Amino acid sequence: MKNKYGNALTNKLVKKIILSTTVYTCLFLLIYVIARAYCESYIWQPYDKTYQFLKMIKDNVIIEVIVWLIGVAIISFYHLRKTLAYIDAIVLGSSKLLNPNEHIHLPEELKDIEISLNKIKDKAFLEEKKKNDLIVYLAHDIKTPLTSLIGYLHLLKEGENLSLEEETKYLDIALNKSLRLEELINELFDITKFSLDEVKLHKEKLSLNLMIDQIVDDFYPLTLRLHKKIEFLKKDKIIIKADSGLLARVISNLIKNALSYSYENTSILIRTYQDKKYAYIIVGNKGDKIKEEDLEKIFAKFYRVDKARKTDAGGSGLGLAISREIILKHKGDIKVMSNDEETKFTIKLPL
- The answer to whether residue 237 scores a pLDDT higher than 50 is yes
Are 256 and 172 in a shared domain?
Answer: no
Computed over every residue of the chain, the mean pLDDT equals 81
CA distances from residue 133 to 164, 294, 299, 314 in whole angstroms, order as listed: 42, 17, 17, 14
Are 182 and 300 in a shared domain?
Answer: no
pLDDT given for residue 191 in this prediction: 60
| pLDDT (mean) for 42-71 | 75
Tens of pLDDT along 37-49?
777 777 767 777 7
Query: What is the domain extent for residue 126?
Result: 121-193
| pLDDT (mean) for 167-196 | 76
What is the torsion angle, in degrees rounded to the nearest 10, for the CA atoms of residue 246, residue 248, residue 254 and residue 256? -120
Are 216 and 317 in a shared domain?
Answer: yes
Are 223 and 310 in a shared domain?
Answer: yes
The two beta strands, 267-274 and 229-233, are: parallel
Are 203 and 327 in a shared domain?
Answer: yes
Tens of pLDDT along 294-349?
887 888 766 666 554 444 455 556 678 888 888 988 999 999 999 988 999 999 99
Percent of the chain having pLDDT more than 90? 23
Separation CA 348–CA 333 (nearest Å): 5
pLDDT band at 153 (very low <50, low <70, confident <90, very high): confident
pLDDT given for residue 309 in this prediction: 41
pLDDT given for residue 85 in this prediction: 80
Are 216 and 346 in a shared domain?
Answer: yes
114 within a domain of the structure (yes/no) = no
Most confident of 63-72, 147-156, 203-212: 203-212
109 within a domain of the structure (yes/no) = no
Q: Do 336 and 344 form a contact (C-beta atoms < 8 A)?
A: yes
- Number of structural domains the chain divides into: 3
Are 35 and 128 in a shared domain?
Answer: no
Tens of pLDDT along 190-208?
666 655 455 678 899 999 9
Nearest to 330 by CA among 272, 251, 221, 259: 251
Most confident of 78-92, 101-115, 193-207, 258-272: 258-272
Are 203 and 345 in a shared domain?
Answer: yes
Tens of pLDDT along 256-296?
989 988 998 899 999 999 998 999 999 999 988 888 888 87
Separation CA 305–CA 308 (nearest Å): 5
Are 274 and 305 in a shared domain?
Answer: yes
Of the ranges 97-101, 154-158, 209-213, 225-229, which one carries the lowest mean pLDDT score?
A: 97-101
**Contact residues for 59 (Cβ-Cβ < 8 A; gap 6+):** none
Are 322 and 181 in a shared domain?
Answer: no
- The answer to whether residue 23 scores a pLDDT higher than 70 is yes
pLDDT given for residue 1 in this prediction: 43
CATH number at residue 346: 3.30.565.10
161 within a domain of the structure (yes/no) = yes
Compute the C-alpha angle 191/193/195, nearest 5°.
Answer: 95
Are 232 and 343 in a shared domain?
Answer: yes
